[in-house]
Amino acid sequence: MLREIPRVVRLVRAPVPQDLVLPVEGVRPEELVDTWGAARGDGRRHEGIDIFAPRETQVLAATGGLVVRRGWNELGGRRVAVLGPGGQYHYYAHLEEYGDPKPGNWVEAGTVLGYVGDSGNAQGTPTHLHYGIYEITGAVNPYPRLAFTPRPLAGEGPGVRARQAPSPSP
């Protein structure tokens, strides 16, 4: 484990990616709905977004990093957490099943972490992935980094010109 310390330090020091892999196979950015901050039970606010998809659709790592947690909790049910660039903690919850990566495994963006479900407090709701990002100062809305993933404009080849996310309002 000690030989992994330099790799973890490089990961934490790496810049935070502004564009992430959409973490549910087959879902397009234009299908996302920003559910950040929506009211939840017990006076809580939603600290992430819900990405709806059929049960057992692949859940993909939005970024490379180190799997730091995999297991059950009351709210998230089956969940996986990945420590990503910039020290951000990427949280994938309500899984039906886990993929192969276990805590201590390194993953690349796009690695299958699990499969969409309704575990935890989502039991009986439409199947979805709850995806959240956390940093030392608290939760961060992942929606802008997923909904505006650069892609070629219609009629242009790859790499010619990419769409840009709208500038944040002051």
SS3 string, 75-134, reads CCEEEEEEECHHHCEEEEEEEEEECCCCCCCEECCCCEEEEEECCHHHCCCCCEEEEEEE
E strand or H helix at 13, and its extent?
A: helix 5-13
pTM recorded for the entire structure: 0.85
Single-letter residue type at 86: G
Q: What is the pLDDT of residue 170?
A: 36
Q: Which of 163, 5, 144 is nearest to 62 (CA)?
A: 144
Q: What is the pLDDT of residue 153?
A: 44
Bridge partners for 13 per DSSP: none
Q: Which tokens in the block code for residue 170?
A: 């002051």
Q: To the nearest 10°, the Cα dihedral for 156, 161, 162, 168? A: -140
Structural domains in the chain plus CATH codes: 2-20+48-146 (2.70.70.10)
Residue 119: phi and psi, rounded to 5, are -75, 165
Q: Which of 3, 22, 2, 4 is nearest to 106 (CA)?
A: 4
pLDDT tens per residue, the chain (170 residues)?
Answer: 677 889 999 999 999 999 999 999 999 998 999 989 888 878 888 899 999 999 999 999 999 999 999 999 999 999 999 999 999 999 999 999 999 999 999 999 999 999 999 999 999 999 999 999 999 999 999 999 997 645 444 444 333 323 333 333 33
